[in-house]
């Protein structure tokens, strides 16, 4: 996905960061380097004070934005507009975009600003330098959405959609698709509201028919709008989700499957865990065979081994008949617990304790050893320290027990009952644990 | 249609090498095959030709399309005259005597017009071919008083009056006895002024062309001639603060003086004047005008280092008692001598003293004599002063360098911050935008409109109070009051802690000194020394930064001036240090 469309779908709150990396496409910014390049560009000729002060003005605006001093930022902005009259055509052409970004940010937060001011500003900026028309229209629409003005946003998007300027460049084509998709999303919103209304109506009611007819109309329009964007490579989660929901609602399972499969497996699309999750959930709803589900989750496992679906994945693998699936099941559990965010996941520990025993009883000591070898250096400190033991014991006894069981198996097998594990092993004495250990 | 008249011009076209010329409306030759317009114009040899051209111009009138604004016919030098006039008026409101405008600046300008062969001479450049003119008047002739005789009464009066908006008849009077018959019918295509194109191309050896920064050189020269109480740094600061017209000075030209095309390059300015740059221009212009020796700068003049030192001591909140020391340094170095101070452009090595920079440099030297500024002694002395002040609360306090530093540091940082913000908020663009050609015009005006409307919108978000309140002009940038702890005044503090009695006179307790520059650069690179900040003590850096901010000059030029004063002060030691290559030395009063 190109840089700008990424900017566009980023939520508003991240605009601050956006400003800081405004001048470097890669997202890295070296102020000193910028300065240096600046002097090189002028060929050693002394920069005019005009250029110098407008640059200084820009930094003052950025600083004020960073400190949320909207008033100050507006003051400096007042002077910064003169860059539109810069005699350096290169700077002059880059100016509208910078001004739009800074100005919209100020107007978004400034206490004296309101929707009307923002609208005037946006309309004015749209017409300075044609290249920004679509981008500004879209962001304008997002602003209106943010303020709950769906109608206005929709009108704005429709306007932008029909806008043409000479030969469309390829970048603008994507933008138009994006604008259409947002329009589609708005229509989806109305549609889903209607769906809610419909669910309250009685099927025999006269109103039901009209309502459902209405809905159908909407869905058709929406799908037209969403279709084009979804086929372009990119991350389009909300669009895909709503599109699939509609397709499913009207019973077009094949269409939905196609969209999701394409979204998940097309090489041109960037790697996106959500694509696989959507596909998995869809297949689950469809009651697809286990083999199929496993293959989807396998990819998700490679991208996000700590995802909460991994436990489900483990269950699927456990139930599978294949031996290598069993082995993978163990890997998956270890993988989940490698992540700091999952250390207190009692289900994971429970599964691990149970599955370890099962594996050992199935005479697959080698599998356990294979997994443990890479972890024996750090897991004891990571999971089984006395600090954790005390904490766990205090907060969640059940968790402590499960962990103790695992520790017992793993560390016991290694015959390395070290300091860390003493506490965990100590709590084995508790009746509950003991019972589990015995059975 | 003008091919007949153009036959006498036989040169090849520089663009297409054809020899096929026509005459443009302005009387210039254009190539009929490639439409390249030359700078050569058909010379009007005798007056008999004038009615002829006029008739032609009238007959052509209907066909010609009027694309550009038509205003008065005016020359570039009249534009500069306008600016000078505005600047002189501004100086008058700042309190400078009226003679400056009416006599001094007026005369300098007339002299310039004459020297640059634009007026007041037998063959001004505008009448005919540029090369032809030679001043009959001996160029080295510099009898100042006899010169006004060259001027006719008419042109003299118009000089003072032209450009005033209050002119009753609203019709411009031409100060130049020029016959412009061949050109006056229409403004040239690429500039609002009649000679904008020609002017920007003109490169004559030995002629100093007028530019907007040079108007300030003129102003300063007249101030210096009048021995007014404005230094160059003051003048430039007033320019930056908007008290003297400079940037967009053309905005206030009479409505009928239209500017576009080449005029933009001549009159539009996008930088504030820089001290060193204007200083160079001052000397250049004074030499070009061949000015005689300026009135003497004596001890009672504002520009004399003794008085300026006093002024700057007050400005930076240093004790008045230091003035004795600065006077001694001035005396020992000989920089208070009339011959040293007085500007003499016709001297062999014409150079004028940077009065303000020099005075400040003397103060730096005195600070070094007193406190050494080695990041050590000044703090030790501060400790002593602090203890003394605590014990003797009733007495006149001893000067405490540390306290002074703290007060100054805060004030200067604050001031600098405000200054930087004000600069960042500066609105450069004039309400009357300049454009290059008629094609540009609509775009430029539209852009201007856009900016104005955006600014209007954002100004509603700003507090109703104007963002940058205009400061009233003052030669002081700081003010110090007794009592306010943030702005403590040190003027009355004593130097007892740092001086000691020796016989009848006082000497500094500190007997060491280090030189800012040990070896001066002798090559032809034009600078005598360099300033690498990190090589110097922090106190020295602070002092240099403080003063150079005050004068809005580069730190390196102040450092250079300090080194030059030291060179004079320790003349004998310098020759010794060459052998010893040690810079530390004792110094006694």
Q: Which residues pair with B21 in a beta bridge?
A: B31
**Are residues B421 and B306 part of one domain?**
yes
Quote the CA–CA distance of A265 and A272 in Å, as a whole number.
10
Region B177-206: mean pLDDT is 64
Residues of B in contact with A128 (CB under 8 A): 450
Same domain, B213 and B349: no
Mean pLDDT: which of B46-60, B203-217, B574-588 is highest? B203-217
- Cα(A268)–Cα(A409) distance, integer angstroms: 45
Structural domain contains residue B308:
yes
Domain boundary pick from B262, B291, B320: B291
Task: Tell whether B207 and B249 lie within a shared domain.
Answer: yes
In angstroms, how far is the first alpha carbon of chain B from the final one? Answer: 87
Segments in A28-168 forming alpha helices (H): 31-41, 49-66, 70-80, 89-109, 115-126, 133-146, 150-161
**Is residue A2 within 8 Å of residue A171, measured between CB atoms?**
yes
Who wins on pLDDT, B428 or A203? Answer: B428
Question: Is B180 part of a structural domain of the chain?
Answer: no
pLDDT in tens, B78-130: 899 999 999 999 999 999 989 988 899 999 999 999 888 887 877 666 544 43
CA distance B496 to B392: 13
Sign of CA dihedral B103, B105, B110, B112: positive
Range(s) of the domain holding residue B246:
72-121+189-291
pLDDT attached to residue B315: 93
Confidence at B174, pLDDT banded by 50, 70, 90: very low
Chain A residues closer than 8 Å to B428 by CB:
50, 53, 82
Residue B510: per-residue pLDDT? 82
Quote the pLDDT of residue B413.
95
Contacts of B165 (CB under 8 A, 6+ apart): B254
Residue B64 has pLDDT above 50, yes or no: no
Between CA B410 and CA B542, with CA B318 as vertex, the angle to 5 degrees is: 45
- Residue B187 three-state SS: coil
Q: Does B447 contact A at CB distance below 8 Å?
A: yes
Least-confidence region, from A141-145, A224-228, B325-329, B567-571: A224-228
Contact check, Cβ <8 Å, A49/B457 = no
Instruction: Tell me the average pLDDT of chain A.
Output: 78
How many CB atoms are located within 10 Å of the residue B16 CB?
Answer: 13
Asked which of A21-25, B264-268, B543-547 is least confident by mean pLDDT, the reply is A21-25
Instruction: Tell me the per-residue pLDDT of B523-571, one tens digit each, with 9 for 90 and over.
Output: 666 667 888 888 899 999 999 999 999 999 999 999 999 999 998 888 7
Lowest mean pLDDT of A185-194, A350-359, B41-50, B79-88, name the range.
B41-50
Q: Using 50, 70 and 90 to split pLDDT, how confident is the model at B245?
A: very high
Answer whether B461 sits within 8 Å of A50, measured CB to CB. Answer: no
Determine the average pLDDT of the residues in A424-435.
Answer: 45
pLDDT at A214 over 50: yes
- Do residues B395 and B308 both lie within one domain? yes
Question: Do B259 and B357 lie in a common domain?
Answer: no
- The predicted pLDDT at position B238 comes to 94
Task: Give the model's confidence band at A437: pLDDT under 50 very low, under 70 low, under 90 confident, else very high.
Answer: very low
Q: Which of A48, A78, A113 to mutate to test the interface with B (most CBs of B within 10 A)?
A: A78
Backbone angles phi, psi at A41, to 5 degrees: -60, -35
Query: With contact defined as beta carbons under 8 Å apart, do A300 and A307 qualify?
Result: yes
For B:405-424, CB contacts with A below 8 A are 420-421, 423-424
| A115 interface with B at CB cutoff 8 Å | no
The verdict on B245 and B217 lying in the same domain is yes
Question: Who has greater pLDDT, B263 or B33?
Answer: B263
| Helix and strand totals (H; E) in chain A | 24, 0
- pLDDT attached to residue B588: 41
Residue A125, CA distances (Å) to A60, A366, B72, B213, B462 in order: 22, 67, 38, 36, 20
Query: Is residue B405's pLDDT more than 90?
Result: yes
Q: From the CA atom positions of chain A, what is the Rg in Å?
A: 29
pLDDT for position B478: 86
**What pLDDT score does B25 carry?**
58
Output the CA–CA distances (angstroms, integers) from residue B377 to A347, B180, B348, B497, B509, in the order listed.
72, 73, 44, 13, 11
CA–CA distance, B217 with B213 (Å, rounded to integer) = 7
Residue B188: φ, ψ to 5°: -65, 160
Tokens 């027990």 belong to residue: A401
DSSP B191: B
Question: Residue B137 has what pLDDT?
Answer: 38
Q: In chain B, whose CA is at the least distance from the CA of A51?
A: B270
Domain identity same for B262 and B388: no
Contact A259, A266 (CB under 8 A): no
Kindly give, in sequence order, each residue whose CB lies less than 8 Å from that of residue B431, ignoring residues fewer than 6 positions away.
B251, B448
Q: How far apart are CA A406 and CA A384, in angstroms?
A: 10
**B535 is a domain residue:** yes
Q: Same domain for B196 and B114?
A: yes
Interval A110-134: pLDDT, tens:
988 889 999 999 988 988 877 788 8
Q: Answer yes or no: is B548 within a domain.
A: yes
B61 within some domain: no
pTM score, two decimals? 0.72
For B453, name the nearest residue in chain A, comparing CA atoms only: A124
The token pair at B29 is 């030759």
Shortest CA gap A116–chain B (Å): 11
Rounded Cα distance between B162 and A373, Å, is 97
Q: Which two tokens stand for residue B561?
A: 């001036």
Give the side-chain half-sphere CA count within 13 A for B124: 17
Cα torsion at B285, B287, B289, B291 (round to 10°)? 120
The rounded distance, in Å, linking the Cα atoms of B340 and A277 is 88
Q: What is the mean pLDDT of residues A256-279?
A: 89
Element holding B87 (H helix, E strand)? helix B76-93
Say whether residue B589 is in contact with chain A using an 8 A CB cutoff: no
Report the share of chain A in percent with pLDDT over 90.
Answer: 14
Look at A421 and A157; give whichever has higher pLDDT.
A157
Q: SS3 for B390?
A: helix
Domain boundary among B291, B311, B340: B291
State the Cα–Cα distance between residues B215 and B80, nearest whole angstrom. 7
Set of chain B residues whose Cβ sits within 8 Å of the Cβ of A54: 424
The pLDDT assigned to A439 comes to: 32
Q: Which tokens hold the place of B537?
A: 């003590």
Residue B543 lies in a domain: yes
- Residue at a domain's end among B237, B261, B291: B291
What was the pLDDT predicted at B202?
A: 80
Average pLDDT of every residue of chain B: 77
Q: Is A10 left (phi over 0), alpha (psi -120 to 50) or beta?
A: beta
Spell out where B32-72 has E strands: 37-41
Domain check: are B327 and B411 in the same one? yes
Edge-to-edge strands, sheet with B28-31: B21-23, B28-31, B37-41
Average pLDDT (B270-291) is 93
- Are B272 and B415 members of one domain? no
CATH number of residue B15's parent domain: 2.20.25
Residues 6 or more apart whose CB falls under 8 angstroms from that of B255 comprise B71
CA atoms within 13 A on the CB side of B122: 8
Residues constituting chain B:
589
Pairwise CA distance, residues B569 & B580, whole Å: 18
Please, are residues B507 and B500 in contact by the beta-carbon 8 Å criterion?
yes
Please report the pLDDT score of residue B530 as a whole number: 82
With a cut of 70, say whether residue B46 has pLDDT above it: no
Query: In whole angstroms, what is the distance from residue B216 CA to residue B86 CA?
Result: 11
Of B428, B429, B458, the CB nearest to A74: B458
What pLDDT does residue B424 have? 93
Count Cβ–Cβ pairs < 8 Å, chain A vs chain B. Answer: 86
- Does residue B456 sit at the A interface (CB-CB below 8 Å)? no
CB-based burial, B331-364: b 16+ in 10 Å, e otherwise: eebebbeeeebbbbbeeeeeebbbbbbbbbbbbb
Q: Which tokens go with B589?
A: 């009063």
d(Cα B337, Cα B314) in Å, to the nearest integer? 23
pLDDT confidence tier of residue A372, bands split at 50, 70 and 90 = confident
Residue B446 has which token pair? Answer: 């539209």
Residue B393, Cβ neighbours under 10 Å: how many?
A: 7
Residues B213 and B336 grouped into a single domain = no
**What are the pLDDT digits (tens) for B344-400?**
888 877 778 899 999 999 999 999 999 999 999 999 999 999 999 998 888 888 999
Q: According to the model, what pLDDT value does residue A140 have?
A: 92
B67 in any annotated domain: no
| B469 touching chain A per CB within 8 A | no
Asked whether the predicted pLDDT for residue B223 surpasses 90, the reply is yes
Distances in Å between the Cα of A194 and the Cα atoms of A155, A375, B249 are: 20, 54, 66
Q: Count of domains in chain B?
A: 3
Q: What is the CA angle B58-B127-B30, rounded to 5?
A: 55
| CB proximity under 8 Å: B 214-273 to A | 270-272
Q: Which residues of chain A neighbour B270 with C-beta distances below 8 Å?
A: 48-51, 87
Q: What is the pLDDT of residue A286?
A: 85
- Among residues B90, B97, B87, which one has the least CA distance to residue B227? B97
Q: Is residue B371 part of a domain?
A: yes
pLDDT at residue B56 is higher than 90: no
Instruction: Mark whether B112 and B206 lie in a shared domain.
Output: yes
Strand B505-508 to strand B499-502: parallel, antiparallel, or no bridges (unpaired)?
Answer: antiparallel
* Contact assessment for residue A200 and residue A208, using Cβ atoms and an 8 Å cutoff: no
Partner-chain contact B451 A77, CB within 8 Å:
no
Residue B8 has pLDDT above 70, yes or no: no
**B347 interface with A at CB cutoff 8 Å:** no
Q: What pLDDT sits at residue B29?
A: 65
pLDDT digits (tens, 9 = 90+) for A275-322: 999 999 999 888 888 888 888 888 889 888 888 888 889 888 888 888
How many CB atoms are closer than 10 A to CB B281?
21
């Amino acid at each position: 996905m190109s840089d700008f469309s990424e900017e566009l779908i980023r939520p508003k709150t991240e605009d601050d960061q956006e400003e800081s990396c405004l001048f470097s496409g890669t997202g890295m910014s070296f102020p000193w380097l910028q300065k240096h390049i600046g002097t090189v560009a002028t060929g050693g000729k002394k920069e005019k004070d005009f250029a110098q002060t407008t640059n200084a003005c820009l930094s003052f605006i950025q600083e004020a934005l960073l400190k949320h001093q909207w008033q100050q930022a507006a003051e400096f902005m007042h002077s910064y507009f003169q860059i539109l009259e810069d005699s350096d055509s290169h700077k002059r052409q880059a100016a509208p975009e910078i001004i739009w970004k800074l100005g919209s940010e100020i107007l978004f937060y400034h206490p004296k600003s309101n929707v009307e001011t923002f609208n005037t500003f946006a309309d004015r900026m749209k017409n300075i330098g044609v290249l920004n028309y679509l981008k500004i229209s879209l962001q304008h629409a997002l602003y209106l959405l943010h303020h709950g003005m769906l109608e206005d946003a929709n009108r704005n998007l429709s306007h932008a959609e029909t806008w043409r300027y000479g030969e469309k460049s390829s970048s603008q084509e994507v933008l138009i698709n994006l604008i259409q998709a947002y329009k589609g999303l708005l229509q989806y919103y109305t549609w889903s509201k209607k769906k809610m209304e419909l669910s309250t109506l009685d099927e025999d009611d006269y109103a039901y028919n009209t309502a459902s007819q209405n809905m159908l109309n909407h869905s058709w329009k929406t799908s037209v709008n969403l279709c084009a964007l979804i086929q372009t490579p990119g991350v389009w989660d909300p669009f895909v989700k709503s599109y699939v929901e509609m397709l499913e609602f009207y019973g077009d399972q094949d269409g939905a499957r196609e969209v999701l499969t394409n979204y998940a497996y097309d090489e041109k699309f960037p790697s996106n865990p959500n694509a696989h999750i959507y596909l998995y959930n869809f297949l689950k709803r469809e009651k697809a065979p286990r083999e199929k589900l496993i293959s989807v989750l396998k990819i998700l496992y490679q991208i996000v081994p700590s995802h909460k679906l991994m436990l489900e994945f483990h269950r699927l693998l456990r139930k599978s008949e294949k031996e290598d699936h069993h082995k993978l099941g163990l890997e998956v559990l270890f993988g989940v617990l490698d992540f700091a965010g999952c250390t207190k996941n009692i289900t994971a520990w429970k599964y691990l304790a149970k599955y370890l025993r099962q594996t050992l009883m199935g005479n697959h000591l080698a599998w356990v050893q294979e997994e443990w070898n890479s972890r024996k250096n750090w897991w004891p400190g990571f999971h089984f320290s006395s600090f954790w033991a005390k904490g766990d014991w205090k907060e969640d006894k059940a968790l402590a027990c499960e962990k103790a069981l695992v520790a017992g198996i793993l560390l016991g097998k290694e015959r390395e009952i070290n300091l860390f594990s003493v506490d965990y092993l100590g709590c084995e004495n508790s009746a509950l644990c003991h019972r589990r250990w015995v059975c | 249609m003008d091919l007949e008249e153009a036959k006498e011009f036989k040169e090849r076209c520089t663009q297409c090498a054809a020899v096929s010329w026509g005459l443009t409306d302005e009387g210039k030759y254009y190539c009929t095959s490639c439409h390249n317009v030359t700078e050569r114009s058909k010379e009007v040899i005798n007056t008999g030709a004038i009615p002829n051209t006029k008739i032609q111009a009238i007959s052509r009138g209907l066909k010609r399309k009027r694309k550009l604004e038509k205003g008065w016919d005016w020359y570039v030098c009249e534009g500069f005259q306008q600016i000078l006039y505005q600047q002189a008026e501004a100086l008058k409101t700042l309190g400078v005597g009226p003679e400056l405008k009416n006599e001094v600046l007026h005369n300098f300008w007339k002299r310039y017009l004459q020297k640059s062969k634009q007026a007041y001479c037998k063959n001004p450049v505008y009448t005919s071919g540029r090369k032809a003119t030679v001043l009959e008047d001996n160029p080295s002739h510099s009898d100042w008083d006899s010169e006004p005789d060259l001027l006719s009464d008419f042109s003299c009066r118009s000089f003072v009056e032209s450009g005033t908006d209050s002119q009753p008849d609203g019709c411009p009077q031409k100060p130049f006895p020029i016959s412009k018959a061949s050109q006056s019918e229409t403004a040239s295509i690429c500039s609002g002024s009649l000679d904008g194109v020609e002017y920007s191309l003109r490169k004559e050896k030995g002629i100093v062309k007028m530019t907007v920064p040079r108007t300030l050189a003129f102003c300063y020269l007249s101030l210096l001639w009048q021995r007014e109480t404005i230094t160059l740094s003051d003048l430039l600061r007033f320019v930056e603060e908007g008290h003297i017209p400079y940037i967009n000075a053309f905005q206030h030209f009479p409505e009928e003086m239209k500017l576009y095309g080449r005029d933009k390059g001549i009159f539009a300015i996008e930088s504030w004047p820089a001290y060193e740059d204007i200083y160079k221009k001052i000397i250049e212009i004074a030499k070009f005008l061949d000015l005689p020796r300026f009135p003497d700068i004596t001890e009672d003049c504002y520009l004399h280092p003794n008085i300026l030192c006093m002024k700057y001591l007050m400005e930076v909140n240093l004790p008045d008692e230091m003035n004795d020391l600065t006077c001694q340094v001035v005396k020992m170095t000989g920089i208070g001598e009339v011959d040293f101070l007085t500007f003499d452009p016709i001297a062999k090595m014409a150079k004028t003293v940077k009065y303000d920079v020099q005075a400040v440099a003397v103060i730096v030297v005195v600070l070094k004599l007193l406190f050494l500024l080695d990041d050590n002694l000044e703090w030790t002395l501060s400790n002593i002063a602090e203890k003394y002040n605590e014990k003797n609360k009733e007495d006149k306090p001893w000067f405490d360098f540390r306290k002074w530093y703290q007060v100054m540091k805060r004030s200067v940082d604050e001031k600098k911050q405000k200054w930087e913000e004000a600069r960042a908020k500066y609105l450069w663009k004039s309400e009357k935008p300049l454009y290059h050609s008629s094609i540009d015009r609509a775009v430029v005006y539209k852009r201007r409109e856009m900016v104005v409307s955006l600014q209007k919108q954002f100004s509603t978000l700003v507090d109703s109070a104007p963002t940058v309140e205009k400061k009233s002009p003052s030669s002081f940038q700081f003010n110090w009051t007794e009592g306010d702890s943030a702005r403590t005044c040190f003027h009355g503090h004593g130097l007892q802690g740092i001086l000691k009695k020796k016989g009848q006179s006082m000497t500094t307790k500190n007997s060491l000194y280090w030189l800012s520059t040990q070896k001066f650069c002798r090559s032809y690179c034009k600078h005598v020394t360099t300033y690498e900040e990190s090589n110097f003590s922090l106190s020295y850096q602070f002092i240099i930064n403080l003063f150079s901010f005050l004068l809005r000059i580069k730190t390196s030029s102040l450092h250079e001036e300090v080194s030059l004063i030291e060179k004079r002060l320790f003349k004998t030691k310098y020759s010794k240090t060459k052998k010893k290559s040690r810079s530390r030395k004792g110094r006694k009063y």
